[in-house]
């Protein structure tokens, strides 16, 4: 199995070796040397290490000896082979560690320039260090946190049950509103796209009013019912529910909405309570992503609102309603969810 020699690592050595081993931009020979030492620190023998990293027993022995004698410096190429590193491994770790903190100047993230000033290294050196550690201070990813709703599991199961296995003679409607849609006009005419040149808009604009879109997605058909109103309030929401109730006679309407106050207004709840063909289902707290109409709103914003130019609010409303008509005729189909990750309740 090969001689077993204890290799103890400091926290800085461990962090540096993991950075070298895990980064896709580290030179392959440095990544392999780092893996040799990391495996040795776990108590593996040389034969086991050789099998893991794909190097010979003799090469693994060489790098373990050099690390034990000289630390991280022992894993670097000897002088005369390759360009010598001007920044020590410890300094590199400190740059990476600093980049993972919040700057003390009130900003939310470090820039390369700020890191260079704080550490005394050049901007190009900082860029290379961050690239080697796959550190990207300029990027942010968002994720869905766990809902604090004590009835999360029950509400989620009800909504997904309606999606997957709706009751007989029922219509499942996913309802929400997109408020404050601005009818923006540009101060100069739009310059159309040409080969080699994208569509161009002036950065300056004027507002011609706003509208609010109430939308109901028929989950199992993919079609959309929409209405533009002046503002999002319980009166307009109730009118929209009444129009849906009249439009689909003979069907039991299961309406899925989020927890917006207008959806829970007493007048809304009283009217629904008086109707045997309508049931309101609320998504769990902070879980409006369960409402499928949000998917359609993303499509709508991309197709209609992005880079739009309208000379009046009425022109905007007309385009919205024309888009809904075309969507229903040409593209409407049920959404297929493809999430395969762990349940959020786990």
Q: Which of the four pLDDT bands, split at 50, 70 and 90, describes residue 210?
A: very high
pLDDT tens column, 292-318: 999 999 999 999 999 899 999 999 999
Q: Please state, in angstroms and as integers, the Cα–Cα distance from residue 17 to each residue in 22, 47, 75, 146, following that order.
A: 8, 20, 10, 34
Whether the predicted pLDDT of 223 surpasses 70? yes
| 24-77 pLDDT, tens digit each | 655 788 888 989 989 988 888 888 888 888 888 889 889 999 998 888 888 887
pLDDT tens per residue, range 276-299: 999 999 999 999 889 999 999 999
Cβ–Cβ contacts within 10 Å for residue 165, how many? Answer: 7
Q: Model's pTM, two decimal places?
A: 0.68
Q: Which residues pair with 281 in a beta bridge?
A: 256
pLDDT at 78 over 80: no
Question: Which of 191-195, 204-208, 218-222, 292-296 shows the lowest per-residue confidence on average (mean pLDDT)?
Answer: 191-195
Residue 90 vs residues 15, 82, 123: alpha-carbon distances, Å: 10, 20, 18
- What integer pLDDT is reported at residue 74 of this predicted model? 86
Confidence of residue 202 (pLDDT cuts 50, 70, 90): confident
Above 80 in pLDDT, residue 323?
yes
Please determine, for residue 137, whether its predicted confidence score (pLDDT) is greater than 80.
yes
Which pLDDT does position 79 carry in this prediction?
60
* Residues 176 and 295 sit within 8 Å (Cβ to Cβ): no
Say if CB 176 and CB 258 are below 8 A apart: yes
Q: What is the pLDDT of residue 84?
A: 54
Cβ(28)–Cβ(74) below 8 Å: no
* Residue 39, Cβ density class (10 Å: 0-12 exposed, 13-18 middle, ≥19 buried): buried
* Strand duo 278-282 + 252-257: pairing: parallel
pLDDT band, very low/low/confident/very high, at 215 (cuts 50, 70, 90): very high
Q: Which residues, other chains included, contact 104 with Cβ-Cβ below 8 Å and sequence gap of 6+?
A: none
Q: Provide the pLDDT for residue 72.
A: 87
Q: Please state the rounded mean pLDDT for residues 5-21.
A: 85
Burial 107-128 (b: 16+ CB within 10 A, else e): eeebebebbbebbebeeebbeb
Does residue 251 carry a pLDDT above 90?
yes
The per-residue pLDDT for range 111-126, each reduced to its tens digit, is 999 999 998 888 999 9
pLDDT at 85: 56
- Do the beta carbons of residue 210 and residue 312 sit within 8 Å? no
Residue 92 to residue 175: CA distance in whole angstroms = 52
To 10 degrees, the CA torsion angle through 53, 55, 61, 67?
Answer: -60
pLDDT at 82 over 90: no
**pLDDT of res. 133:** 79
Question: What was the pLDDT predicted at 340?
Answer: 65
Q: Which helix (H) or strand (E) holds 91?
A: helix 89-99
Side by side, the strands of the sheet bearing 205-218 are 224-229, 205-218, 170-186, 252-257, 278-282
For the chain, percent of residues with pLDDT exceeding 90: 50
- Write down the pLDDT at residue 159: 95
Residue 180: its pLDDT value, please? 94
Radius of gyration of the chain (CA): 30
pLDDT the model gives residue 346: 43
The mean per-residue pLDDT over the stretch 127-131 comes to: 88
Beta bridge partners of 181: 211
Query: Count of alpha carbons within 13 Å of 286, Cβ hemisphere only?
Result: 9
State the first-to-last Cα distance of the chain, in angstroms, to the nearest integer.
41
E strand segments, 126-195: 170-186
Q: Which of 54-58, 131-135, 215-219, 314-318 has the lowest mean pLDDT?
A: 131-135
Report the C-alpha gap between 341 and 346 in whole angstroms: 11
Q: Specify whether the CB–CB gap between 285 and 148 falls below 8 A.
A: yes
What are the C-alpha distances in Å from 170 to residues 155, 166, 256? Answer: 18, 7, 13
- For 158, 185, 186, 291, 339, the CA distances from 150, given in Å and listed in that order, are 14, 46, 48, 19, 23
- Looking at residue 245, the DSSP 8-state letter turns out to be H
CB 126 within 8 A of CB 95: yes
State the Cα–Cα distance between residues 118 and 181, nearest whole angstrom. 43
Note the pLDDT of residue 319: 97
**Mean pLDDT (the chain, rounded):** 89
């Amino acid at each position: 199995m090969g001689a077993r020699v204890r290799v103890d690592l400091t926290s800085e050595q461990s962090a540096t070796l993991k950075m070298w081993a895990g980064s896709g931009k580290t030179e392959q020979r440095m990544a392999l040397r780092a893996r040799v030492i990391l495996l040795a620190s776990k108590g593996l023998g040389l034969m086991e290490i050789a099998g893991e990293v794909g190097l010979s027993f003799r090469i693994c022995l060489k790098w373990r000896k050099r690390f034990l004698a000289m630390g991280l410096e022992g894993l670097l190429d000897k002088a005369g082979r390759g360009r010598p590193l001007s920044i020590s491994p410890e300094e590199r770790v400190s740059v990476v560690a600093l980049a993972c903190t919040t700057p003390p100047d009130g900003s939310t993230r470090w820039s390369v320039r700020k890191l260079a000033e704080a550490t005394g290294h050049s901007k190009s050196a900082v860029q290379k260090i961050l690239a080697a550690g796959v550190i990207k201070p300029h990027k942010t990813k968002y994720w869905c946190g766990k809902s604090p709703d004590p009835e999360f599991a029950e509400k989620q199961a009800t909504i997904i049950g309606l999606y997957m296995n709706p009751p007989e003679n029922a219509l499942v409607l996913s309802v929400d509103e997109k408020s404050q849609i601005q009818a923006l006009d540009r101060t100069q005419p739009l310059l159309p796209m040409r080969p080699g040149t994208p569509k161009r808009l002036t950065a300056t604009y004027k507002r011609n009013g706003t509208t609010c879109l109430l939308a109901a997605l028929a989950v199992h058909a993919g079609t959309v019912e929409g209405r533009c109103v002046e503002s999002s309030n319980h009166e307009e929401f109730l009118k929209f529910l009444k129009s849906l109730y009249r439009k689909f006679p003979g069907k039991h309407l299961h309406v899925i909405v989020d927890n917006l106050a207008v959806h829970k207004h007493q007048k809304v709840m009283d009217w629904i309570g008086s109707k045997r063909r309508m049931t309101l289902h609320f998504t769990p707290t902070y879980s409006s992503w369960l409402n499928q109409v949000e998917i359609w709103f993303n499509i709508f914003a991309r197709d209609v609102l992005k880079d739009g130019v309208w000379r009046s609010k009425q022109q905007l409303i007309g385009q919205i309603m024309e888009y809904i008509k075309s969507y229903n005729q040409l593209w409407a189909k049920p959404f297929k969810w493809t999430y395969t990750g762990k349940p959020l309740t786990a």
